[in-house]
């Protein structure tokens, strides 16, 4: 089993471990085991959600639109963000199959089950199974050029086929607490349900719910008040990858030379784009009064949260990249595609992070890269 959970500091290399652990903040200290998921916060059974289209515009009432516009464009000082995240709603739309990368992505919902700047060396592992896609895995996190601590965390278990990136928030050390505990809860909960009759999508949904409850409970402590984290998690389901996201960490897919963003950001800026107040072309010109980085959904900021789910078909040669916004705010989609196609697999994460740092690197930068290999292959072709 290749299992790794990292909340990497500036000068500690990522390590493989048979037990989930946090990389220590200072060289020489002992790694501490991350908390396993606990059964006392099991998700309640709810009716199975309907399948929704990833491209369908959300339905909003006029009052909600006015409230968002007033909050973002009022001339006075910005108000505090609402205590409850704003969730974009989607109308159901049947999924279709096409050959392009942009159209091969479908959004899927699942039923709830009962029960540096110093760089960090990339971790690499490979997983092969006759019953599922054969994946190569590479992961890397970097503190960036400005921050003094790394509030990103990542983790994966390649035998179980679960891959997670989280971007913590909350100031001081709280962001690190939120992201590292969310990663641990997601990986451990997903592992706990292995071998059950639950579908991969249901197991992933339950893992996200458990991570949310874990971070929410920790956030009730005075020193952790206000903390939370994004998450983007991918789980292997045969020849498909099920992706869940909360917040503005992203997943991209590249197939046949075409790149597409899989996930939809839960951010105020994206809300304004999706409801027509702004366009992608003029969004960078809008004065958002300090709300540029505000996200509208996050792990641990309320007692419950619902992720969005997507399904990606995996064929040999398909890349899937999951990353924090420290990468995606600096490196554009077409640039990601170019690097994925031109660099050796083991250098891709390093090259992406180097480009983000070259352009400022104001945030922590983390990515996990997956490559679908031909059956029987043990490493990517050079």
pLDDT in tens, 150-195: 999 999 999 999 999 999 998 666 999 999 999 999 999 999 999 9
C-alpha distances out from residue 380 to 260, 320, 364, Å: 22, 14, 28
pLDDT in tens, 109-162: 444 333 333 334 444 444 444 468 999 999 999 999 999 999 999 999 999 999
Model confidence at 105: pLDDT above 70 = no
> Where residue 297 falls among pLDDT bands split at 50, 70, 90?
very high
Query: Domain locations in the chain?
Result: 3-14+99-373
Model confidence at 284: pLDDT above 90 = no
| Beta bridge partner(s), residue 33 | 21
Separation CA 185–CA 45 (nearest Å): 20
Q: Would you state the torsion angle of the CA atoms of residues 17, 22, 262, 84, taken in this order, to the nearest 10 degrees?
A: 150
pLDDT in tens, 39-50: 444 444 444 433
Mean pLDDT over each residue of the chain, to the nearest integer: 75
High-pLDDT (> 70) share of the chain, % = 64
> Which pLDDT score, from 0 to 100, does residue 274 have?
83
Element (H, E) at 321: strand 319-323
> Which pLDDT score, from 0 to 100, does residue 79 have?
36
Model confidence at 265: pLDDT above 50 = yes
pLDDT in tens, 18-27: 333 333 333 3
> Where residue 234 falls among pLDDT bands split at 50, 70, 90?
very high
4 vs 34, residue with greater confidence: 4
pLDDT in tens, 315-364: 999 999 999 999 999 999 999 999 999 999 999 999 999 999 999 999 99
Rg (CA), the chain: 19
The class that CATH gives domain 3-14+99-373 is alpha beta
Q: Would you state the torsion angle of the CA atoms of residues 29, 224, 163, 303, taken in this order, to the nearest 10 degrees?
A: 150
Model confidence at 300: pLDDT above 70 = yes
Model confidence at 306: pLDDT above 90 = yes
> Where residue 35 falls among pLDDT bands split at 50, 70, 90?
very low
DSSP H helices in the chain: 62-73, 174-192, 200-218, 268-274, 325-328, 333-342, 345-358
Tokens of 362: 């104001």
> Which pLDDT score, from 0 to 100, does residue 280 have?
77
> Which pLDDT score, from 0 to 100, does residue 131 have?
63
> Which pLDDT score, from 0 to 100, does residue 66 have?
52
> Where residue 258 falls among pLDDT bands split at 50, 70, 90?
confident
């Amino acid at each position: 089993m290749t299992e790794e959970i990292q909340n990497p500091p500036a000068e500690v290399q990522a390590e493989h471990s048979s037990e989930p652990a946090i990389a220590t903040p200072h060289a020489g200290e002992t790694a501490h085991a991350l908390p396993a998921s606990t059964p006392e916060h099991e998700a309640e059974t709810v009716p199975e959600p309907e399948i929704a289209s990833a491209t369908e515009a959300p339905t909003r009432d006029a009052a909600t639109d006015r409230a968002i516009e007033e909050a973002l464009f009022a001339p006075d000082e910005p108000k505090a963000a609402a205590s409850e995240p704003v969730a974009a709603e989607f109308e159901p739309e049947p999924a279709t199959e096409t050959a392009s990368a942009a159209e091969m992505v479908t959004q899927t919902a699942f039923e709830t089950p009962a029960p540096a700047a110093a760089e960090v060396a990339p971790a690499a592992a490979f997983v092969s199974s006759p019953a599922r896609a054969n994946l190569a895995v590479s992961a890397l996190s970097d503190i960036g050029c400005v921050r003094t601590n790394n509030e990103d965390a990542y983790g994966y278990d390649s035998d179980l086929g679960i891959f997670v990136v989280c971007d913590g928030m909350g100031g001081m050390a709280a962001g690190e607490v939120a992201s590292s505990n969310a990663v641990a809860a997601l990986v451990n909960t997903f592992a706990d349900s292995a071998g059950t009759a639950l579908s991969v999508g249901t197991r992933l949904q339950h893992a996200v719910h458990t991570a949310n409850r874990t971070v929410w409970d920790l956030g009730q402590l005075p020193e952790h008040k206000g903390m939370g984290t994004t998450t983007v998690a991918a789980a292997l389901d045969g020849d498909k990858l099920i992706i869940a996201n909360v917040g503005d960490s992203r997943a991209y897919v590249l197939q046949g030379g075409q790149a597409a963003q899989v996930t939809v950001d839960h951010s105020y800026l994206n809300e304004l784009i999706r409801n027509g107040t702004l366009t992608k072309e003029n969004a960078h010109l809008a004065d958002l009064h300090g709300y540029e980085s505000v996200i509208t959904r996050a792990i641990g900021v309320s007692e419950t949260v619902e992720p969005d789910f997507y399904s990606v078909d995996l064929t040999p040669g398909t890349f899937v990249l999951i990353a924090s916004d420290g990468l995606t705010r600096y490196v554009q989609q077409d640039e990601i595609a170019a690097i994925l196609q031109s660099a050796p697999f083991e250098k891709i994460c390093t090259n992406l992070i180097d480009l983000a740092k070259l352009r400022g690197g104001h945030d922590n930068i983390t990515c996990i890269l997956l490559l679908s290999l031909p059956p029987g292959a043990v490493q990517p072709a050079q």
